Chain A
Amino acid sequence: DIQMTQSPSSLSASVGDRVTITCRASQSISSYLNWYQQKPGKAPKLLIYAASSLQSGVPSRFSGSGSGTDFTLTISSLQPEDFATYYCQQSYTLYTFGQGTKLEIK
Chain B
Amino acid sequence: QVQLVQSGSELKKPGASVKVSCKASGYTFTSYAMNWVRQAPGQGLEWMGWINTNTGNPTYAQGFTGRFVFSLDTSVSTAYLQISSLKAEDTAVYYCARIDEGSPTREFDYWGQGTLVTVSS
A34 with B44: CB separation less than 8 A: no
Task: Write the A5-44 contact mask toward B (1 if CB under 8 angstroms, else 0).
Answer: 0000000000000000000000000011010101000111
- The residues of A that contact B107 with a CB separation of less than 8 Å are 34, 46, 49-50, 55, 89, 91
Does B80 have its Cβ within 8 Å of any Cβ on chain A? no
Tell me the A48-106 residues at the B interface (CB within 8 Å).
Answer: 49-50, 53, 55, 87, 89, 91, 94-100
Chain B residue total in the interface (Cβ 8 A):
20
Which residues of the partner chain B approach A94 to less than 8 Å between Cβ atoms?
47, 59, 61
Specify the chain B residue showing the minimal Cβ separation from A100.
B44
Minimum CB–CB distance from B106 to chain A (whole Å) comes to 4
Which residues of B (66-83) have their CB < 8 Å from a CB of A? none
Cα A85 to Cα B109 with chains together (Å)? 17
Q: A95-B47, A97-B45 are in contact. Are A46 and B108 (CB under 8 A)?
A: yes
Cβ A87 vs Cβ B61 within 8 A: no
Chain A residues with CB under 8 Å of B29's CB are: none
Closest chain B residue to A96, Cβ basis? B47
B95 within 8 A of A: yes
Q: Which residues of A contact B44 (CB under 8 A)?
A: 87, 97-100
- B contact set with A: CB distance below 8 Å: 35, 37, 44-47, 59, 61-62, 95, 97, 105-109, 111-114
Enumerate the 8 nearest inter-chain pairs by beta-carbon distance, A residue then B residue, closest first: A49-B107, A43-B111, A91-B106, A95-B47, A97-B45, A50-B105, A34-B107, A100-B44
